[in-house]
Amino acid sequence: MKPIKVLSRRERQVVDLLLQGRSNKQIALSLGVSERTVEFHLRNVYVKLEVSSRVEVILKLGKATGGIFANLVESTVDIGDENVDNGSQPVGQQRWAQSLRNTISLIKQEIAMTARITFEDFGNYLRSHPVLFSLLLFLTVSLTTRYIVFDLGLYFWLSYVWLGLLLGTGSIYFGISWKKVTTGNFRFHPLVIIAVIALLPLIAAGFDQIYINTVLRYTEPISTTIGNISTQAMWRVAPWGEPYLYTERHAFGPDALWLLANTVMLILFLLSLAAGKRFNNNDLKTA
């Protein structure tokens, strides 16, 4: 794959101007963006092209591309002298309004770009610190699980089984993939992974809600007692004839079930981590 194919349209525009010898300020003026935005695009270009400086970009693309970027970059439109029909609106007022709109637009772009840069920087920091990333991932999953079990509530025993399988499978997979994460061979965005993994307990909660709002309507009441948690759910009929869902949830003593879930996740992670190292060592000996 040619290097230019991995770049976005805007990144190609930035690189095209860079190859022409323009500075960040000149590139920003040409594209109508801020220098901060240009710097952000350049950092993405460095990562995609696997270089670390402007000089390396020029050395890598300057001779190879020739004039190819000129055909890929959209031409900009220079506004010359035009006769504008303003109707009854004064020219000064129209220019002031246009200037205000441009300022507001620029502020919006800066806010969006700042948020995106912050998001990317934090993700890169976590990617280079896998231990911190793992702790943040574990904490997110742990707190989400506690919220699902103790605050939102699960009422069907199979929902607890489903939750345990999801958490266990995720712990094992992460332990097996740990070496790839630490060596950088596993390309991922840490914040996206954390958000996706945090959805695992919510999947169990969704399964539970679907069951009690569909199947439970036509079956006997269900009651579940796991650890220090006791739940009950049933459909009743109000005096005026309308059915409604009645639920009870009680938790006794400390959060033993939550602590047990955290312990099991940690043990499965460590076991799968040890197993992954053993398999890798065996592969090296065989080779």
90: in domain:
no
pLDDT at 74 over 60: no
Of 14, 49, 75, which residue constitutes the final position of a domain? 75
Cα–Cα separations (whole angstroms), residue 127 to 131, 163, 169, 189, 271:
9, 27, 22, 8, 23
Residue-wise pLDDT for 8-52, tens only, equals: 788 888 888 888 888 888 888 888 777 888 888 888 888 888 888
Distance between CA atoms of 131 and 263, rounded to whole angstroms? 18
Q: Are residues 70 and 133 in the same domain?
A: no
Distance between CA atoms of 157 and 208, rounded to whole angstroms? 9
Least confident of 75-89, 220-234, 242-256, 268-282: 75-89
Least confident of 78-87, 160-169, 257-266: 78-87
95: in domain:
no
Q: How many domains does the chain have?
A: 2
229: in domain:
yes
Q: Are residues 132 and 71 in the same domain?
A: no
Of 75, 97, 120, which residue constitutes the final position of a domain? 75
**40 touches 113 (CB < 8 A):** yes
pLDDT at 83 over 60: no
Q: Are residues 46 and 159 in the same domain?
A: no
DSSP 19-59: HTT--HHHHHHHHTS-HHHHHHHHHHHHHHHT-SSHHHHHH
34: containing domain? 3-75
Which token pair is 267? 């043990």
Residue-wise pLDDT for 100-147, tens only, equals: 777 777 677 777 777 777 777 777 788 778 888 888 889 988 888 888
Instruction: Report the CATH number at residue 18.
Output: 1.10.10.10
Residue-wise pLDDT for 153-210, tens only, equals: 889 999 999 888 988 888 888 888 887 777 766 666 777 888 887 788 888 899 999 9
Radius of gyration of the chain (CA): 29
110: in domain:
no
Of 55, 75, 95, which residue constitutes the final position of a domain? 75
